[in-house]
Amino acid sequence: MAAAPLRDDQRIILHFDYDCFYASVFEVEQPILKTLPLAVQQKQIVVTCNYEARRRGLHKLQLIKEAKKVCPDVVIVLGEDLTKFRDASKDLYLFLRGFIWDGGVEKLGFDEIFIDVTDMIAYNAAMLNPHDLSHSFFHLNRQDPTVGFEFDATNLYGRVYPDGASAADLSSRAEFDPLQLRTRLLLASHLAGYLRGQLEDQKGYTATAGISTSKTLAKLVGTVHKPNSQTTLLPPYATVKDPEESNVLKFLDSREIRAIPGIGSKSSRKIISYVTASEHAKAEDGLTVRDIRLLPGMGPPVLERILSGPGAPRGIGMRVWELLHGVDNSPVGEARDVPTQISIEDSYGSLDNFEVARKAMIALAASLIRRMRTDLTEKYTDVEGEATSASASHGETGVRWLARPRSLRLSTVPRSLPGSENGHSHSRISHSAPLPQYVFNLDESEDALAERLVRELTTSMFRKLHRERTGWNLRVLNLAVTNMVDLVGKHSSGRDIGRMFQRQEAEHPEGSTAPQPLPMPNTPQSTPAVASEAVWEESDEEDEMTGVQCNACGASIPHFARTAHEVYHTSASQ
């Protein structure tokens, strides 16, 4: 067996998992639902349910008709429109980020968040008074010593692993704590408890938290005690005399490899297949991390051979070996203020009529515009007289765009016709066009803008992909906005539109055919990604020279000059 990888436990990471998030969004809107069995429906499936419903026998991914049989008085709410979940997730992210120094907060989906609190913990560790630990104060602001909360630094907050351990149990084992890890984790446990309390008191959401020194360990240890709880993984993390005394290894060894974040299902199957084929291994059922870690000969080279292949990242063997030992140095990435693209997708049993397809595109366009307004705008106070919304004037609060996408992409996945070879569905095909500027009008309703967008642009894009009026049948429609242009920089309250677009034009000259990244399905009701997704964007020279009407001044502008002309209007209005 290869040697264990070296540990680096300098960081302190929190992982928050909002409890029954989809259901909680409805409960926050209608508190009476907290006392009732509540299930959130997408398609014909229960995507989540609250704990009262779980107590009565309901569970995730249950068919709705089965849920009604198990619990006839269940309250079922529709959750196919993800707007309210996305809005709530963004609101909670911004709320928690407001407490954290240096912006070390990373979202994982709608309901999970990683927080790097290393600097906050180091500062507060230095501020501890060793002569009066029971009356300690946690500082939340470097500049204002009155901002924070009181806590008892003689005890950890919340649950711990191993169960039953305490701060006192570790105080006599200084040889295992050269980095003052016990003290730093203790402080982090109180910070996590405070943040969870603020989340519930001010926002109405409960969360389960894990506290450790990496994203992997924090996420895993947070699953030990749920819901509305927290767990700290206590030291020793690394021991010189006997590595098996490490609480990290004790914690990981009893878990199945499928449960380790960062090791995907495909990699897990390959490793399990290899291990179960060994004469030293037991049957696949009950195979744990310890069984894999201690298999004779196991190490990075063996894992590299098992997992290497087309598309496998270089060094995957060492990466998985590290994860099996709880070593994860991946940073908590500060989330971008704006995404690189926004994609809305839905799947259909049968879509072979243009009128039905048009209505589906309108629904997608409305959802896309709502997403744009959620993800690409911010409220601000116009203190410099630079209002960017008709609703804002000098000194008042308005709404402004953080970024504007330049392109709209329509993608479809046709369904194979009966009798076609192998019965496989077609690959994804796409067509892109410049996104009209009227989409950014915040004073017009999303539905009205969606109708106009489909009428004036998306319909022609659809006909480029499917020239025949009949004979096609689609199973997936996708609308996406791409080529994002930041308008408000991180360190600037103003904008230089002209310079910004000069830079963008240099990076993406008009008429360039640089391929756009394909969107992954990003909603629970979306169809899984197609195995082969070939993008085809048709170019028509006649279209390039056809005059299009400017939405601002009414002039007829050649297609290739449209973007530059719209930039002119945008700059002139500043």
CA distance 238 to 220: 18
128 plus 261 within the same structural domain: no
Q: Domain end: 296, 324, 352, which one?
A: 324
* Mean pLDDT over each residue of the chain, to the nearest integer: 81
CA 407 to CA 186: how far, in whole Å? 49
CB 404 within 8 A of CB 566: no
Residue 337 lies in a domain: no
In a domain, 126, yes or no: yes
Which of 293-302, 333-342, 386-395 has the highest mean predicted lDDT (pLDDT)? 293-302
Amino acid, single-letter form, for residue 84: K
Residue at 570 is within a domain: no
Tell me, yes or no, whether 310 lies in a domain.
yes
Amino acid of residue 15: H
The number of folded domains in the chain is 3
Same-domain check for residues 297 and 352: no
Assigned domain for 57 exists: yes
Residues 320 and 386 in one domain: no
Are 221 and 368 contained in the same domain?
no
Measured CA to CA in angstroms, residue 3 lies from 176, 246, 274, 298, 321 at distances of 20, 15, 20, 10, 10
For residue 210, what pLDDT is reported?
98
Cα distance between residue 398 and residue 563, in whole Å? 26
Residues marked as catalytic: 112
Strand partners, 78: 41
State whether 280 and 293 are in the same domain.
Answer: yes
Q: Quick one: 110 and 195 in the same domain? A: yes
- Give per-residue pLDDT as tens, 104-130: 999 998 999 999 999 999 999 999 999
pLDDT tens figures, 401-427: 989 999 999 999 988 655 544 444 568
CA-based R_g, the chain, Å? 27
Between CA 175 and CA 240 the distance in angstroms is: 10
CATH number at residue 484: 3.30.1490.100
The two tokens of residue 180 are 């003052």
Q: Is the domain of 346 the same as that of 299?
A: no
- 433 and 522 in a single domain? The answer is yes
CA distance 199 to 211: 17
The structure's pTM equals 0.71
The answer to whether residue 558 sits within a structural domain is: no
- Mind listing the pLDDT tens digit for each residue in 152-165? 999 999 999 998 76
Tell me if 137 is assigned to some domain: yes
Closest to 560 (Cα-Cα) out of 431, 433, 405, 411? 433
Quick: pLDDT tens for 274-316: 988 875 555 555 688 999 999 999 999 999 999 988 878 889 9
- 41 in Cβ contact with 64 (< 8 Å): yes
Mark whether 300 and 217 lie in a shared domain. Answer: no
CATH number at residue 75: 3.30.70.270
Domain span holding position 430: 342-539
| Tens of pLDDT, residues 497-537 | 334 334 444 444 443 333 333 333 333 333 333 322 222 22
User: Is 168 among the domain residues?
Assistant: yes
